[in-house]
Amino acid sequence: MAALSAHTREKWLFGSKLPYAEAPWARGCPSPYYRDSHRQLRQAMRSWVDKHLIPHVEQWEEAASLPDDLYQQAADDGLLMPMAAGSSIPADWRGKFPVIGNVDPAEWDGFHDFIIHDEFGRIGGVGVENGLVGGVHWQTLAIPAIRRFGSEHLQTTIVPKILSGAGRIALAVTEPDAGSDVQGLQTEAVLSDDGSHFVVSGMKKWITSGMYCDYFLTLTKDAAGGFTLLVVPPSQGISKKHMTVSGSTAAGTAFIDYDDVHVSVNMVVGERGKGLKYIMSNFNHEVRAHNTLVSQNTLRPCPAIPGHACADEAMQRLFLGFQALRCARVCLEDSMDYAMSRQTFGKPLTEHAVIRFKFAHMSRETEALQAWIEALIYQLSQLSPAEAEFLLAGTTAQLKAHAGIVLEHVVREAIQIMGGIGLTRGGRGGRVERIWRDVKALTVPGGSEEILLDFASKRSLKVAAELMKEPKGRL
């Protein structure tokens, strides 16, 4: 009798047959999370990445630049709007922009979001994805922040421009003297005497995709108090310089200088002085209102942000976990492929117990990460935004940190298995070598490991304290 039925083969098998190269749901293991629309999206994304990205990645990374028309291609083929939307597509965006794989926008959920990033990850490394769509999804912020808090003017001018491919936007928060501690930022916005515009001065550092962007969602210190979030359009006084970071050369990482830049008041996102709160609360695009499993009577809503800058920020980190997970699979796939064919001491590397032991540990960590990510996507989809934020912001932060730690180990071992090939640019070891250069871009930006793990511990204590309270109305 065949080990796998025809039904299982037809329904579940997909992609590479090498051990661990694909997730369990592509290897014959049924899953409660995935439907036909997810399979449809996966196939469409795989074809898109294979056609438009994979053949060119090495050349783009060497040139430290992406072709101009690639962003428009991504818009036309339906990648941009769903990526900006995250785990659910807003009703007023449906039908206005294409969706890759012709997925019904009403059906779009966190697993579709996961699949898009997962398939991008097969490139090996994160530079191309972050350079191409960084302003749309990176920090999952720029567009969602405008959508949630922006005026009618911003909704009708900026959002369609970005999602249709006619303009590009990046998130500019970090500064030379303010990284983890966002509240230390110094870029100042001063309102003009006639109240018509702000004058913005300051510097922003490590702005992903900044070299390709014409708009910058910029967090400023308002001279009148608080932090004001501004969409800075192409203007006089903005200069940018490419920053060479370790790996991710195609990401277009930029240093931005604002020298008395005039920004009209109709570019303010939300209310003046509340920008920090918007930035932080907007990080949780994975959360959507849905069936509430925990009663609002037993848990208070998540408190407001000031003073707890990382709290909501931690929610959006999930996509960085998605990226790390697929990078780990790529390492498993390429090192396994090598180990199965490379002979040392008269037998393939896979016949050496020490090498098999490495694979056992690499796959143990990768499969556990997959299961945790899938569980978390599901949990986030089932809670109200306030409860998800309260119960799962810590978990999301912890998962992001964990994903980076897993990848650091997996890529290290992949290179050990591949020897010199794993350290050589291009060829069989090309993806693994690129991931090696990119791995720290998954453990520092987007909430560094130390900050996120500390936040996760603090949040677990806070949740426990809340759970130990007597519910209202009980004697």
Ligand X SMILES: Cc1cc2nc3c(=O)[nH]c(=O)nc-3n(C[C@H](O)[C@H](O)[C@H](O)COP(=O)(O)OP(=O)(O)OC[C@H]3O[C@@H](n4cnc5c(N)ncnc54)[C@H](O)[C@@H]3O)c2cc1C
The single residue among 108, 114, 138, 227 that binds ligand X, judged by CB under 6 A, is 138
Size of the site for ligand X (CB under 6 A): 21
Largest CA distance in the chain: 83
Q: Which residue, 253 or 381, has its beta carbon nearer to ligand X?
A: 253
Q: How far is CA 254 from CA 123, 199, 250, 262, 327, in A?
A: 22, 21, 11, 20, 24
Q: Which token pair is 404?
A: 């980076």
| Residue 56, number of CB atoms within 10 A of its CB | 16
**Residue entry with tokens 């008041």:** 265
Stretch that binds ligand X, among 67-75, 176-184, 257-265, 351-359 (CB under 6 A): 176-184
Stretch that binds ligand X, among 28-36, 49-57, 177-185, 409-417 (CB under 6 A): 177-185
Distance CA 72, CA 57 (A): 18
Q: Is 172 in the site for ligand X (CB under 6 A)?
A: yes
CB of 179 to ligand X, least distance (A): 2
Return the closest-CA partner of residue 340 out of 418, 286, 439, 416: 418
Stretch that binds ligand X, among 169-177, 231-239, 292-300, 455-463 (CB under 6 A): 169-177
CB of 135 to ligand X, least distance (A): 8
CB of 19 to ligand X, least distance (A): 32
Q: How far is CA 374 from CA 111, 150, 325, 381, in A?
A: 8, 32, 11, 11
Stretch that binds ligand X, among 142-150, 204-212, 299-307, 320-328 (CB under 6 A): 204-212
Is residue 78 classed as helix, strand or coil in its secondary structure? Answer: coil
CB of 245 to ligand X, least distance (A): 5
Bridge partners of residue 256, in order along the sequence: 204, 240
- DSSP letter at 439 equals G
Q: Is 279 in the site for ligand X (CB under 6 A)?
A: no
Distance CA 401, CA 81 (A): 27
Q: Is 83 in the site for ligand X (CB under 6 A)?
A: no
CB of 252 to ligand X, least distance (A): 10
Stretch that binds ligand X, among 25-33, 172-180, 223-231, 325-333 (CB under 6 A): 172-180
Cβ neighbors of 6 (< 8 A, separation 6 or more) are none
H or E stretch including 241? strand 238-242
Stretch that binds ligand X, among 202-210, 234-242, 350-358, 416-424 (CB under 6 A): 202-210
CB of 323 to ligand X, least distance (A): 12
Distance CA 225, CA 70 (A): 41
Residue nearest to ligand X (CB): 179
Instruction: State the amino acid at position 287 in one-letter form.
Output: V
Stretch that binds ligand X, among 337-345, 372-380, 438-446, 460-468 (CB under 6 A): 438-446
Bridge partners of residue 254, in order along the sequence: 207, 242
Instruction: State the amino acid at position 258 in one-letter form.
Output: Y
- DSSP letter at 20 equals T
According to DSSP, the β-strands at 169-172 and 343-344 are unpaired
Q: Is 179 in the site for ligand X (CB under 6 A)?
A: yes
Q: Is 444 in the site for ligand X (CB under 6 A)?
A: yes
Q: Is 448 in the site for ligand X (CB under 6 A)?
A: yes
The single residue among 275, 321, 404, 445 that binds ligand X, judged by CB under 6 A, is 445
The single residue among 186, 450, 466, 467 that binds ligand X, judged by CB under 6 A, is 450
Q: Is 171 in the site for ligand X (CB under 6 A)?
A: yes
Q: Is 31 in the site for ligand X (CB under 6 A)?
A: no
Provide the binding-site residues for ligand X, judged by CB under 6 A: 138, 171-174, 179-181, 206-208, 245, 248, 253, 441, 444-445, 448, 450-451, 454
